[in-house]
């Protein structure tokens, strides 16, 4: 037995046929060795990760993250085992190059779920592992427009897929799902990275180089991962990556990122005989690959709400990450135009005001780093800056006043930060007391004295609170009597100076409300009888009463709960709603259903909701690395 097999709790071990197979890392010590980040990457073929998920993978590796990559197919394409082995050698060379280490690996075999998997562990950095299920990978017809074994098993009831190597395994869709779900549970990732599951083109109609088309194995692998995550929920970020169609979008990587991504891919291509014949005569990346190494785009789920915020002059804007450009985008309601503020993300944004009334924004990149920017003057935004400290699982929740924020780190702890004066920076993340089995996200409200109160639940649905004491330390988490929740937390300070807390009852999926009294006591939960998804949007209305907006179901109606009355304001919406009050007027924003990313703005006038704006889609370009954004950003875009 190898020394690695004797490492005890430092590694997770699974025994199969007398071999010691390793899933790194699961213990506290191993989590420290991963610098708090554990990436699980699942793709169809060897090179999908290198072409479509970089530079994120190399950035995570350089930051010390552990990485478990699972290649579902043998990727042999009529080349048999010999070609499969060469491609496996290629990805090992690429990952060793990304890590800056000697290309030496230890091979093991392990059983995960229903499947036996071959795994390679980088000897000088065991936190990097490449695993291969080796599913056979021929076309089952003449080529494009026909199924592959993986896409057939994913889409046709009762079909199976066999592995290429020995001993041969036969797996059906349920067994593939079990394997992926088991891997998620065993590895306990902080991020799950997969390809695009949203491509609407049927497998049998896909074609090479057709606009918007992907590969059937890319789509099948992503759909299996998405379903496996439902079966194995947890505190991890989910990041999907667009594959072939990125060649149709604007170049969004910097020259440094392109150079790095190119050199990484070449280390793989030197071993792939269909790509090049070795280092001396290799022209890769060439053809479509030359376009792919210049781009990286994320899959958008279109259900995030836009953020609404006004500037110091009272001008209202939308803020949203672009579904076509992955950039931070601002729609000026008065001037009816988009401005692109750079960055690269597909997540929700958090908008807030600094103490002087100037607008600020939070965004999270795909490696978990949180960035902020500020607009000191009309249409000018300062360069993005990073909040120092650990990586986060989601965009921070931020208070609209006094600029305080909370987010969950990749270590499972909640962290708090506040804006500094007078430089408008943000302090390093401060860890809150540990909440065992915490679930994200939390919600944050300031009481009438300006003290932050943070509310969260654990994975069992029990509700807790903590608050900052007079000596600036944090109270240990205290349980709040409430029914078990399934998230959907939101809070607001009402006009009477009491915090109102909203949550989703786990059993009924209905909206519950609690109101904080004196001495941290709470009213009994009130069932408001409204089922919803996502998170409620809260605001004080024109009469200083709390108004609640929710989405009843995915793609469904937007409903307001106003003074106890339920009112539907939009029959269909792609996104959850956003509420905002400006100069005594209440606004509601949502994204209409449809392929284009537009936002509808409603204004309440004399008790009636009136549409006052419908945006154009954000521009197709403008996304870029946060760290290489210009010092000042002013890129207005007028829809042609």
Q: What is the CATH number of the domain that holds 217?
A: 3.40.50
Is residue 343 within 8 Å of residue 622, measured between CB atoms? no
pLDDT given for residue 503 in this prediction: 97
Same domain as 339, residue 266: no
Q: φ and ψ at 520, to 5 degrees? A: 60, 20
| Distance between CA atoms of residues 635 and 381, nearest Å | 10
Among 463, 467, 469, smallest CA distance to 486 is for: 463
The residues pairing with 546 across neighbouring beta strands, listed in sequence order, are 540
What SS3 class is residue 214? coil
> In this structure, is residue 152 part of a structural domain?
yes
Last residue of a domain, one of 292, 327, 360: 292
Same domain as 251, residue 323: no
Same domain as 232, residue 95: yes
| Distance between CA atoms of residues 588 and 308, nearest Å | 9
> In this structure, is residue 468 part of a structural domain?
yes
Same domain as 234, residue 146: yes
> In this structure, is residue 301 part of a structural domain?
no
Same domain as 418, residue 269: no
Same domain as 187, residue 326: no
Last residue of a domain, one of 258, 292, 326: 292
Q: List, for residues 292-304, the tens digit of each pLDDT value.
A: 999 999 998 889 9
Same domain as 258, residue 149: yes
Domain count within the chain: 2
pLDDT given for residue 281 in this prediction: 80
pLDDT given for residue 636 in this prediction: 46
pLDDT lower than 50: segments of the chain:
1-21, 24-29, 630-640
pLDDT given for residue 633 in this prediction: 44
pLDDT given for residue 23 in this prediction: 57
Q: Which residue has the tokens 């809260």?
A: 538
pLDDT given for residue 421 in this prediction: 83
| Distance between CA atoms of residues 101 and 206, nearest Å | 39
Q: List, for residues 461-479, the tens digit of each pLDDT value.
A: 999 999 999 999 999 999 9
> In this structure, is residue 169 part of a structural domain?
yes
| Distance between CA atoms of residues 366 and 65, nearest Å | 13
| Distance between CA atoms of residues 582 and 594, nearest Å | 28
Q: φ and ψ at 6, to 5 degrees? A: -100, 10
Same domain as 147, residue 274: yes
| Distance between CA atoms of residues 52 and 107, nearest Å | 26
> In this structure, is residue 601 part of a structural domain?
yes
pLDDT given for residue 7 in this prediction: 33
Q: How far is CA 543 from CA 328, 536, 581, 582, 608, in A?
A: 33, 20, 11, 13, 15
Last residue of a domain, one of 234, 260, 292: 292
Same domain as 474, residue 388: yes
> In this structure, is residue 111 part of a structural domain?
yes
pLDDT given for residue 495 in this prediction: 94
Is residue 415 within 8 Å of residue 392, measured between CB atoms? yes
Same domain as 330, residue 224: no
Among 198, 194, 231, 238, smallest CA distance to 214 is for: 198
pLDDT given for residue 628 in this prediction: 56
> In this structure, is residue 297 part of a structural domain?
no
| Distance between CA atoms of residues 216 and 222, nearest Å | 10
Same domain as 469, residue 512: yes
Which percentage of the chain shows pLDDT scores above 70?
93
Domain around 557:
307-637
> In this structure, is residue 367 part of a structural domain?
yes
Same domain as 117, residue 10: yes
| Encoded tokens for 32 | 């420290």
Enumerate residues 6+ apart whose C-beta is below 8 A from 39.
57, 60, 65, 66, 67, 68, 189, 190, 191, 193
């Amino acid at each position: 037995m190898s020394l690695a097999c004797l490492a005890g709790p430092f590694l997770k071990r699974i025994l199969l046929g007398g071999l010691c197979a390793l899933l790194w890392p699961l213990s506290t010590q191993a989590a420290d060795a991963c610098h708090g980040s554990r990436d699980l990457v699942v793709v169809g073929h060897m090179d999908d990760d290198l072409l479509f998920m970089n530079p994120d993978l190399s950035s995570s590796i350089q930051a010390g993250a552990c990485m478990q990559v699972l290649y579902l197919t043998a990727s042999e394409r009529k080349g048999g085992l010999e070609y499969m082995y060469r491609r496996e050698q290629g990805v090992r060379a690429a990952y060793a190059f990304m890590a800056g280490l000697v290309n030496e690996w230890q091979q093991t075999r392990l059983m995960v779920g229903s499947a036996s998997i071959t795994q390679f562990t980088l000897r000088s950095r065991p936190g990097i592992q490449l695993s291969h299920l080796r599913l056979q990978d021929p076309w089952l017809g003449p080529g494009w427009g026909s199924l592959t074994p993986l896409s057939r098993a994913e889409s046709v009831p009762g079909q199976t897929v066999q592995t290429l190597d020995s001993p041969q395994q036969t797996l059906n869709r349920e067994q593939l799902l079990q394997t992926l779900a088991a891997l998620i549970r065993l590895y306990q990732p902080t991020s799950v990275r997969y390809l695009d599951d949203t491509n609407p083109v049927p497998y049998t109609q896909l074609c090479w180089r057709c606009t918007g088309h992907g590969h059937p194995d890319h789509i099948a692998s992503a759909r299996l991962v998405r379903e496996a995550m439902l079966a194995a929920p947890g505190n991890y970020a989910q990041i999907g990556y667009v594959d072939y169609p990125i060649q149709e979008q604007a170049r969004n990587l910097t020259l440094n990122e392109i150079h790095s991504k190119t050199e990484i891919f070449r280390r793989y291509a030197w071993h792939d005989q269909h790509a090049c014949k070795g280092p001396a005569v290799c022209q890769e990346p060439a053809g479509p690959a030359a376009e792919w190494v210049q781009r990286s785009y994320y899959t958008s789920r279109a259900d995030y709400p836009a953020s609404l915020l006004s500037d110091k002059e009272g001008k209202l804007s939308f803020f949203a990450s672009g579904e076509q450009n992955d950039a931070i985008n601002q729609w000026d309601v008065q001037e009816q135009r988009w401005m692109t503020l750079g960055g690269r993300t597909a997540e929700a944004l958090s908008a807030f005001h600094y103490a002087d009334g100037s607008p600020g924004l939070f965004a999270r990149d795909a490696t978990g780093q949180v960035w902020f920017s500020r607009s000191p003057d009309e249409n000018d935004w300062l360069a993005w800056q990073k909040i120092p400290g650990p990586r986060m699982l989601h965009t921070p929740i931020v208070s609209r006043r006094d600029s305080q924020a909370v987010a969950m780190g990749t270590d499972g702890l909640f962290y708090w930060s506040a804006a500094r004066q007078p430089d408008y920076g943000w302090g390093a993340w401060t860890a809150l007391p540990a909440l065992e089995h915490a679930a994200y996200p939390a919600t944050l409200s300031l009481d009438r004295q300006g003290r932050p109160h943070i509310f969260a639940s654990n994975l069992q649905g029990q509700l807790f609170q903590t608050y900052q004491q007079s000596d600036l330390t944090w109270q240990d988490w205290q349980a709040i009597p409430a029914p078990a929740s399934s998230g959907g937390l939101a809070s607001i300070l009402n006009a009477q100076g009491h915090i109102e807390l909203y949550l989703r009852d786990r059993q009924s999926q209905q909206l519950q409300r609690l109101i904080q009294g004196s001495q941290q006591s709470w009213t009994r939960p009130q069932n408001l009888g409204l089922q919803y998804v996502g998170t409620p949007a809260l605001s004080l209305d024109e009469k200083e009463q709390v108004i609640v907006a929710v989405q009843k179901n995915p793609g469904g109606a937007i409903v307001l709960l106003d003074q106890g009355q339920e009112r539907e304001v939009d029959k269909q919406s792609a996104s959850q709603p956003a509420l905002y009050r400006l100069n005594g007027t209440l606004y509601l924003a949502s994204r209409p259903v449809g392929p284009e990313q537009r936002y509808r703005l409603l204004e309440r006038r004399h008790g009636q909701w009136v549409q006052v704006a419908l945006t154009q889609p954000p521009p197709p370009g403008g996304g870029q690395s946060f760290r290489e954004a210009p010092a000042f950003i002013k890129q207005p875009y007028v829809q042609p």
